[in-house]
Amino acid sequence: MESILKCIENIDKDMVVAAKKRLDSLSKPLGSLGRLEDMVMQICGITRQLMPSIDKKAIVVMCSDNGVVEEGVTQVGKEVTAAVVMNFTRGITGINVLARHCGADVVIVDIGVDADVSHPHIFNRKIRNGTWNISKGPAMTRQEAEKAIVSGIELVGELKKQGYGIIGTGEMGIGNTTTSSAVACAITGFCVDCMVGRGAGLSDEGLKRKRDVVRKALEINKPDRTDGIDVVSKVGGFDIAGLAGCFIGGAVHKMPIVIDGFISMAAALVAATIEPKTKQYMIPSHFSAEPGTMKLFEYLQLKPYLHLDMRLGEGTGCALAFHIIDAAFAAYKYMGTFSDANIRQYEPQR
């Protein structure tokens, strides 16, 4: 793991400057495309290319079960995880529809589903059949956490070799708003009540039970907030660890990687704790309806591009963000310059 992390560099600041120079040459007022220009400059810096190719897109969906489900923190049982994973292969879920709409491929990964979900369209990266119950002890061993993280890193490398230029991050696993809340509380130090939400729609009683379970998990496991691997191994899930690996893989392989919602953000938080430079490669998609989202954006110092009150997960926010990214690069690549338009170029005014 240490040798992998040593490969991570800051994004290319010279390419960021070059991209800004091109943006300023386009026939428009300086900075008039707002945050779209920031997005373009960031991606050019990530890829080290003035005209990066990001047409081929993938959304990685890490799928895993969580032992904490036995504490009654969800409306449904863990069998739903396997059912939804198989529906991914049928192309009928939310992420399937939205990914098709934006021209992205869905990469389904079994990293810890507690069932046999063997299928030609599912990547088998299973660590084991679900994690242990975090309210009784660690979710996994440190070695298992590292294996899951490395799986994510390697998957990004495989996708880059296949010609993908940008990756979104999604997940599926009943109970993973509980584990992601525990991870977020452990690293940020924010209170449980402001971080733990209703997930898929818990009652007041269910929400209280879920918060109590997260408190108990943190008290029993005592994760080290400075050690992302320790945190995810003690109170996280295989899906979160795998996605953390994807975020690290984005930095290793110099690919832009889009954050989805709250659970994806928890994984990004783990990655940034392991190696802070990974944050430069992350593009936030949307402001999830989960209550802890604002706290995580503040902590990571990131600003989402969309605010739609979504909380589906699966990478659906990434699919919508891909439309915005495509629009930004369409303007960047195909707008005429001041020279083309025979217009005097704008200059910065003091």
349 part of a folded domain: no
Give the mean pLDDT of 4-20: 96
Instruction: Summarize pLDDT for 59-96 with one digit per residue, the tens.
Output: 999 999 999 999 999 999 999 999 999 999 999 999 99
Run of H or E including 106: strand 104-112
Instruction: Summarize pLDDT for 168-206 with one digit per residue, the tens.
Output: 999 999 999 999 999 999 999 999 999 998 877 788 888
What is the token pair recorded at 101?
A: 């709409």
156 part of a folded domain: yes
Q: CATH code at 13? A: 1.10.1610.10
What is the token pair recorded at 264?
A: 């994806």
- Same domain for 61 and 186: yes
348 part of a folded domain: no
310 part of a folded domain: yes
- Same domain for 244 and 146: yes
Give the mean pLDDT of 129-139: 98
Q: What pLDDT, on a 0 to 100 scale, did the predictor assign at position 111?
A: 98
Number of structural domains, the chain?
2
Instruction: Summarize pLDDT for 311-346 with one digit per residue, the tens.
Output: 999 999 999 999 999 999 999 999 999 888 788 887
Instruction: Summarize pLDDT for 217-269 with one digit per residue, the tens.
Output: 999 999 999 999 999 999 999 999 999 999 999 999 999 999 999 999 999 99
> Mean pLDDT for the chain?
96
Instruction: Summarize pLDDT for 278-304 with one digit per residue, the tens.
Output: 999 999 999 999 989 999 999 999 999
Domain hosting 30: range is 2-51+331-341
Q: What is the DSSP string of 263-322?
A: HHHHHHHHHHHH-GGGGGGEEE-B--SSTTHHHHHHHHT---SB-------TTHHHHHHH
- Same domain for 160 and 37: no
- Same domain for 83 and 27: no
Q: What pLDDT, on a 0 to 100 scale, did the predictor assign at position 191?
A: 94
- Same domain for 288 and 251: yes
- Same domain for 303 and 282: yes
For residue 349, pLDDT beyond 80: no
Q: What pLDDT, on a 0 to 100 scale, did the predictor assign at position 217?
A: 98
169 close to 243: Cβ distance less than 8 angstroms: yes
- Same domain for 302 and 163: yes
- Same domain for 85 and 18: no
350 part of a folded domain: no
For residue 139, pLDDT beyond 80: yes
pTM of the model: 0.96
Q: What pLDDT, on a 0 to 100 scale, did the predictor assign at position 284?
A: 98
- Same domain for 99 and 12: no
Q: What pLDDT, on a 0 to 100 scale, did the predictor assign at position 348?
A: 79
Q: Across the chain, where does the E strand assignment appear?
A: 57-64, 104-112, 122-124, 166-172, 257-259, 282-284
276 part of a folded domain: yes
What is the token pair recorded at 20?
A: 């800004």
- Same domain for 219 and 318: yes
The answer to whether residue 171 is catalytic is no
- Same domain for 313 and 199: yes
Q: What pLDDT, on a 0 to 100 scale, did the predictor assign at position 267?
A: 98
347 part of a folded domain: no
Give the mean pLDDT of 113-122: 97
Q: CATH code at 315? A: 3.40.50.10210
108 close to 63: Cβ distance less than 8 angstroms: yes
346 part of a folded domain: no
User: How would you list the strands of the sheet with 57-64, edge to edge?
Assistant: 122-124, 104-112, 57-64, 166-172, 257-259, 282-284
- Same domain for 120 and 98: yes
Q: What pLDDT, on a 0 to 100 scale, did the predictor assign at position 99?
A: 98
* C-alpha dist (Å) from residue 49 to 14, 45, 281, 334: 10, 7, 14, 16
Q: Which is the catalytic residue, given 2, 171, 314, 347?
A: 314
